[in-house]
Amino acid sequence: MASMTVELRNVEGTEAAIGWAGSHTVVVDRPEGKAGGRGLGFNGAQLLALALGGCFCNDLRYAAHQMGAALGKIAVSVTIELEGEPLLTTAAAMSVHCETLDGSDPQEIIDRAKAICMVANTLQKGVPVAIRSAAAA
């Protein structure tokens, strides 16, 4: 079994956080004026939608590579529906457009990416989440 850990810490002088995995970083914040947010980065809902769409973009490339195809333009749009208190994502919809360099129909590549997309499959099946208090780092 593989595992992955990301880290997040507050950004001094703000109420935002910076997260990182290896050499990649992302800023997380609330919208301007919401609970001290300054709109300095993505909120949780945006990160969830980006995780879903970003994973699918990567999986389109993995699928094309496995199938010996080359892709040109890729355009993915993700919409999530939010409701309730506490706020929950109740649905996600993704629109996918991609082009093969040889002009062939990309549907088989899209179908393969759908089958292997880790984030989409995880969201569809659900995953237990444990939240516990830890010693200060």
Same domain, 90 and 105: yes
Other Cβ atoms closer than 10 A to 113: 24
CA distance 97 to 77: 9
Same domain, 26 and 49: no
CATH number, domain of 98, equals 3.30.300.20
Q: What is the average per-residue pLDDT within 91-106?
A: 98
What is the reported pLDDT for 135? 82
Average pLDDT, the chain: 96
Same domain, 88 and 36: no
Side by side, the strands of the sheet bearing 24-28 are 7-10, 17-21, 24-28
Q: What is the average per-residue pLDDT within 48-73?
A: 98
Same domain, 59 and 111: yes
- Is 135 domain-assigned? no
Determine the structural domain holding residue 27 and report its residue range: 1-42
Same domain, 25 and 2: yes
Say which range, 74-78, 117-121, 133-137, has the weakest mean pLDDT. Answer: 133-137
